[in-house]
Amino acid sequence: MLVFTRKKCQQRIEAMRPRLYSIALSWSCGPDLANELVQEALLTALDKLSQLRDTQALEGWLIKILANAHHQHLRRIKPTVNLDDIDLEYNHTPDHEVDREYLIERVRHAIKRLNVDQRHVLTLVDMEGMSYTEVSLALDIRIGTVMSRLSRARSRLRDLLYDDLHGIVRDIDNVTMIREVT
């Protein structure tokens, strides 16, 4: 019976590969790194399969392993360039501003500038459509932490995409003043 369960779990783990790959990509990993992280996560999952007590929680468990793999990768590499110092070549012509693909690239670039914890939460919620509870379980953090990370991520993103959000953001500045008063 154990063998059967393990085999089924292995199949379910393998079936999660496309989703994990998509998540890894959304965390601003390139295709090569995404494949590498997913492979590492799947191998780790198989290695630690006996630690999984609730097979229903397999998906969240795999995302957690992937997030850990991503963290470990970021610790291993030492960035020689501060991402905040880089900006996309931005041509302020009307043609480029309406170009959807260009905007998508800017959003991805902005996401890349978020710290990794904020990036994980933001992408899981907005790209993967996961609930706060699911993210909380997957990343092993409290729901309150999910909310605060998400809030900071969107706030930072709002600043980074200031120009793309046109004049709307300028109006927001007046509102945030009220927050400081309260």
Residue ranges that bind other proteins, judged by CB under 8 A: 1-3, 6, 10, 13-14, 17-18, 20-22, 25-26, 31, 34-35, 38-39, 42-43, 46-50, 100, 103-104, 107-108, 111, 122-123, 125-127, 131-132, 147-148, 150-151, 154-155, 157-158, 161, 164-165, 168-169, 171-172, 174-175, 178-179, 181-182
In whole angstroms, the minimum distance from the beta carbon of 171 to other proteins comes to: 5
Q: CA 153, CA 160: separation in Å to the nearest integer? A: 10
In whole angstroms, the minimum distance from the beta carbon of 149 to other proteins comes to: 10
For the chain, state the CA radius of gyration: 19
SS percent in the chain: helix, strand, coil, step 5: 75, 0, 25
Q: CA 69, CA 90: separation in Å to the nearest integer? A: 33
Give 80 or 173: the residue with its C-beta nearer to other proteins. Answer: 173
Q: Which residue has the tokens 């965390």?
A: 27
| Packing angle of the helix pair 132-139, 143-160 (nearest 10 deg) | 100
In this structure, what token pair is assigned to residue 142?
A: 């409290």
In whole angstroms, the minimum distance from the beta carbon of 54 to other proteins comes to: 18
In whole angstroms, the minimum distance from the beta carbon of 82 to other proteins comes to: 22
Give 10 or 68: the residue with its C-beta nearer to other proteins. Answer: 10
Instruction: Please name the amino acid found at residue 74.
Output: L
Give 32 or 80: the residue with its C-beta nearer to other proteins. Answer: 32
